[in-house]
Chain A
Amino acid sequence: MKSTFDQIDPRCEQVARTLGCSRFQAFSLVVFPEADRGMITALTLAWARSLGEFGPLLIFAGSTRMKTEVLSTSVFLEMNVGNLEAAVAVSLIMVVGAVIVLVLTRLLGGAADERVARPRPAGVGPDALGDET
């Protein structure tokens, strides 16, 4: 996500400021939308990373059936009771999920690579519009 924001031309934010945007407006109206694909990619990767989390979940959340059970701990639980078919099925669900995430990341990342109460802002108000032509 940091690299996404680093790649955004700072001139865009500067131009937005000269147009009358506050810092927040410049960020929310200009910079944030410019980073949309990078943010989605980052969120997707974070989700994928959490999908496969196992050790910390086992220690801090436990692996109680139907209560704190998640995909990764399900595999562990099914293996422990000897239900190999269920363990394989859950593993395949995780594999398919991971593949989908990788494809999405690739698509979104590729598309992103192709893209290269405050004081009233100064300037003449709406009444003066049209005077110049």
Chain B
Amino acid sequence: MIAVQGLSIVAGNFSLRDVSFTIPQGGYGVLMGKTGCGKTSILESILGLRTIQSGRVMLGDRDVTELGPALRGIGYVPQDGALFSRMTVRKQLGLALEIRGVGPQKVKDRVEQLADWLSIRHLLDRYPRGLSGGERQRVALGRALSFVPRVLCLDEPLSALDSETRAQMCDLLADIRRRTGVTTLHVTHNLDEAERLADPLFRLADGRVEIVPRAAHGAA
């Protein structure tokens, strides 16, 4: 479960006040809104990457408001993937586990499992340079899922993809949800994406987050 309670963010002239919403355990929350309305700021606050003025962030029954990003255990996929240019795909997929002191054999097994699952086995020994947009996002997804997080945050992960690749990635995201049961917050401004994946769908407008009933998804 992700619960944001009374969140307030101030960054220069921009501010959000008293934002609250909840994504139930195993839910796939999609947060929509216009560019610049603060979607990414909310996501960064949940991740612990942005200082908040007030409010609380709960992950399950844990209050993580005061914890740093490393201690929250949230998988994060930014818009462009933000792959590490000096690491092979294999190294990137295993990094989070190596940091947690997992043994080499288990890291290897997990990396191969993710590679098979995400269809990126042939990319394991390559560096990010030269990967296509879809491949980059698959690697970024694998990296975020490598340490078996209970929560996943996706910041417009499909915005730079063509429509065919986007459809494939939507199927993959639905499959990830089905297999892992990970609670997900997906930020986007693409309505098709939201309609395919959202459960529930939120709309951020005028500094307030409202839940959009399923029947009204098309009007979000």
| Complex alpha-carbon distance, A47 and B106, angstroms | 45
B78's closest neighbor in chain A, by CB?
A11
Interface residues of B in 148-164 (CB under 8 A from A): 148-150
Are A132 and B100 in contact, with the CB atoms below 8 A?
no
Query: B54-86, CB under 8 A of A: which get 1 and which 0?
Result: 000000000000011111111110101011111
Are B113 and A121 in contact, with the CB atoms below 8 A?
no
Partner of B73, one of A11, A15, A122, A132: A122
Binds B, one of A25-33, A64-72, A80-88: A25-33
Are A11 and B106 in contact, with the CB atoms below 8 A?
no
Are A21 and B180 in contact, with the CB atoms below 8 A?
no
With a cutoff of 8 Å between Cβ atoms, the chain B residues found around residue A50 in the complex are: none
Are A129 and B110 in contact, with the CB atoms below 8 A?
yes
Partner of B49, one of A9, A17, A122: A17
With a cutoff of 8 Å between Cβ atoms, the chain B residues found around residue A121 in the complex are: 70-71, 73, 96, 99-100, 147
Query: Is the interface on chain A under 10, 10 to 19, 20 to 34, or 35 or more residues?
Result: 20 to 34
Q: Does A128 contact B (CB under 8 A)?
A: yes
With a cutoff of 8 Å between Cβ atoms, the chain B residues found around residue A19 in the complex are: 70, 95-96, 99, 143, 146-147
With a cutoff of 8 Å between Cβ atoms, the chain A residues found around residue B73 in the complex are: 20, 121-124
Known: A120-B100, A132-B180. A17 touches B69 (CB 8 A): yes
Are B71 and A115 in contact, with the CB atoms below 8 A?
no
Are B76 and A12 in contact, with the CB atoms below 8 A?
no
| Complex alpha-carbon distance, A131 and B147, angstroms | 12
Q: Does B47 contact A (CB under 8 A)?
A: yes
Q: Does B10 contact A (CB under 8 A)?
A: no
| Complex alpha-carbon distance, A132 and B181, angstroms | 8
| Complex alpha-carbon distance, A25 and B71, angstroms | 14
| Complex alpha-carbon distance, A132 and B68, angstroms | 26
What is the interface of chain A, defined by CB distance below 8 A to chain B? 9, 11-12, 14-22, 25, 29-30, 33-34, 36, 115, 119-126, 128-133
What is the interface of chain B, defined by CB distance below 8 A to chain A? 47-49, 67-76, 78, 80, 82-87, 95-97, 99-100, 102-103, 106, 109-110, 113, 117, 129, 143-144, 146-150, 179-181
